Chain A
Amino acid sequence: AGPDPLITEVQDWASSFGDGVDVTPYGLPIQFEQDVVRRNVEWLTADTISSINFTPIHALDGTITPQGCAFERHHSGAIEMRKEDYRLMINGLVDQELVFTYEDLERFPRENHVYFCECAANTGMEWAGAQLNGAQFTHGMIHNMEYTGVSLRTLLEEVGVKPEGKWIYVEGADASSNGRSIPMEKALDDVLVAFKANGEALRKEHGYPVRLVVPGWEGNMWIKWLRRIEVKDAPVESREETSKYTDNLANGIARKWTWVMDAKSIITSPSPQAPIKHGTGPLVITGLAWSGNGAITGVDVSVDGGKNWIEARLAAPGQDKAMTRFYLDHNWDGTEMFLQARAKDATGYVQPTKTQLRDVRGLNSIYHNNCIQTWWVKESGEAENVEVS
């Protein structure tokens, strides 16, 4: 090959001007990254107003999810509320029922924490078999952000919880209200009333101006547009915690109160939407791991469908209930691979196979599918979502 004209010829960008500092007061990704966007699956729901879209995890790296491509789940659409119109009521079994404004919340001592938020239905469409061809669709109901807010414990201490207050019921200001019951122990542990994510205000679609952050627990409990917290002696058994977000077992009995998101991992690249284009030689195999039960302690990667495993390199030590990025620096010989990742967390839990889960739960569980995923990487470098024996 001859000399590269990109080097030998003076390019336009090397001689003329680029944009001035007044062109984009709020910056957006450059046009060449237009495909790194949330996507939805049209057949999944009756209407996009009560639906979900998926984070493009196949195209991201690191651990922090930019807000603009962090998945959305609404039950009655993303509402628009001004901070000035925001009210948070805490009522029920408390010494003093109080109403807080947004400004009030800003005056309580503040905390910062990074947590993942995963929809209980993430990977749910894969229960019965390999179905959607892309990490974004199989595992994209997740994001991981740094939240700023007030500890819920602080607010509950402000109103004074009565001894008979064993649960809280939390609801949003949108038309769905999406109420959920949370046991007091968790409420007083690590739940946050958050108003910033990744340093800036929450996006409308994530509950601006205030949402609940329930670390390690299913995303449906992270009430957006949080408007009311009621201290109660028993759970409400709302629609979202009975008819939905309960896990049907093979015998027809369903598990309820399955709040924790168990340890899980996914190889984000290579994957069906991120094929290998460079041929043989050095290949970065990378992905994400997380656990609602604590920190990720290790991730194993298999290139032969689970016969043999290699310990991957964690980009940073695992953090409690937050995403961990892993890498396996591989020398690809061009033969087909069955790529799998397997997460391990601080409790000693090892991410199960789909067969292990099905043996316990059957095929109708929908929620909490944290099985090991297989990508079949073909000699061409293209990848497909498959199940293997």
Chain B
Amino acid sequence: ETYGLGRPALPEEVAAWDLDVSPDGTGLPAGSGSVLDGEDIFAEQCAVCHGDFAEGVGNWPKLAGGAGTLDHEDPLKTVGSYWPYLSTTWDYVNRSMPFGNAQSLEPDEVYAIVAYILYSNDLVDEDFVLNKDNFLEVEMPNAGGFILDDRAEAEYVNFNDACMTNCKDSVEITMRALVLDVTPEETAAKSGTAAEDQVTEADAEQPVQEPVVETVALDPELVAKGAKAFKKCKACHQVGEGAKNRTGPILNGIIGATAGQVDGFKYSKPMMAAAESGLVWNEQELAAFLAKPKKYMKGTKMSFSGLKKEKDIAAILAYLQSVSQ
């Protein structure tokens, strides 16, 4: 018995959402990509978090290396050392990456990125081209490295002793959390001190630098749109109170600021050169940069492909203006 609710899914709707790729290659679209193309695309789309050689930046995932470490202390689990199926990499890159700009890659680009990740794991040669037909020929080193959940046999049969008295002779402390001391302190207390420190430093170093920026009347609707569009940037940039440098510098007061001036952020050489020659991030310059970062500044660390819509650029500028006011 059914309730007759819902409506038939149209073929084009199923096609739009049914994108997952299975270990046997089911779901792979036509296309191909080479290691060489992958290297460029990876540098542009992925390297900001995963490093030029898929080695990972900071706390972001390492995608290469780790062979032979799975039975060591702190094993390094990468596509090469751990992932059992290549389909998983293709599927994940295709549907969930780049972080903050998911589902923006063409099939050929995905093939190329996956080929490059394989290359960085020494699993294919530099002239390798990955396509739908040779997909299953790639051997994943850890394909045989998994067993099904065996807790019933390995654990449950033994975890049933509820001893109530005199269960052991002695109790000695073998490890203490306070020795490691990695627990976050109370956020309130912490941010209080940090803010005070900042004020003191700022006061000491730059006594008068205030009213250069005139307060512009901003369109609240545009600002709201900008806040939304800014999500693309959030993977790397923070803005507002308590913002910190992440993969990219904080953007407080960026509009009207001299380039390359955020404390504690390591800029690319071209950015430092531009800063020295007096680049100021007025709306015009920032708009040009955001439209095509790599074209605007060859060699910038900002591995963002750019904002295609002028509307988005205007909105983001308004948003950045608003948070700085």
Contact = CB atoms under 8 A, between A and B. Distances in A.
Interface string B1-32: 11101111100011001101111100000000
Contacts of B265: none
B10 to A, nearest CB: 8
B22 A236 contact: yes
Q: Is the interface of B mostly helix, strand, loop or mixed?
A: loop
Contact of B99 (A76, A177, A179): A76
Contact of B171 (A230, A258, A306, A384): A306
Nearest to B20: A236
Contact of A246 (B18, B146, B167, B180): B146
A107 B6 CA distance: 10
B95 A177 contact: yes
A205 interface: no
A307 B171 CA distance: 8
Contacts of B82: 243, 254
B7, B21, B96, B164: residue with the most chain A Cβ atoms closer than 10 Å: B96
A347 B156 contact: yes
Interface in B74-100: 74-75, 77, 79, 82-85, 87-88, 91-92, 95-96, 99-100
Interface string A69-113: 000000111000000000001111000111111001001100000
B182 A132 contact: yes
Contacts of B79: 243
A238 B180 contact: no
B145 A386 contact: no
A108 B171 contact: no
A157 B95 CA distance: 29
Interface in A120-158: 129-134, 137, 157-158
B232 to A, nearest CB: 10
A43 B184 CA distance: 9
B171 A350 contact: no
Given A45-B59, A307-B167, A228 B95 contact: no
Given A130-B177, A251-B71, A387-B173, A350 B160 contact: yes
A20 B172 CA distance: 57
B2 A157 contact: yes
Interface string A231-258: 0101011110011001010111111111
A389 interface: yes
Interface residues of B, number: 82
Leading 7 A-B pairs by shortest Cβ distance: A252-B71, A305-B171, A252-B70, A46-B59, A385-B177, A175-B102, A98-B6
A309 B164 contact: yes
Contacts of B161: 350
A91 B146 contact: no
Contacts of A252: 70-71, 75, 145
A329 B85 CA distance: 53
B149 interface: yes
Contacts of A307: 166-168, 171
Contacts of B84: 237, 242
A356 B49 contact: no
Interface in B134-182: 145-151, 154-156, 158-168, 170-178, 180, 182
A234 B14 CA distance: 19
Contact of A350 (B91, B159, B173): B159
Given A243-B83, A349-B159, A386 B173 contact: yes
Contacts of B83: 242-243
Given A133-B178, A250-B71, A255 B156 contact: no
B73 A108 contact: no
Contacts of B146: 242, 246, 253-256
Interface string A28-72: 000000010001111101110110000000000000000000000
B75 A248 contact: yes
Contacts of B103: 175
Contacts of A169: 20
Nearest to B18: A91
Given A255-B150, A306-B167, A388-B172, 8 more contacts: A46-B58, A96-B8, A130-B180, A307-B171, A309-B167, A349-B159, A349-B160, A387-B174
A234 B148 contact: no
B176 A309 contact: no
A177 B96 contact: yes
Nearest to A247: B149
Contact of B85 (A107, A137, A237, A348): A237
Given A239-B96, A248-B75, A308-B164, A256 B9 contact: no
Nearest to B77: A243
Contacts of A360: 154-155
A389 B171 contact: yes
A304 to B, nearest CB: 6
A248 B70 contact: yes
Max chain A Cβ within 10 angstroms of own Cβ: one of B17, B74, B79:
B17
Contacts of B246: 47
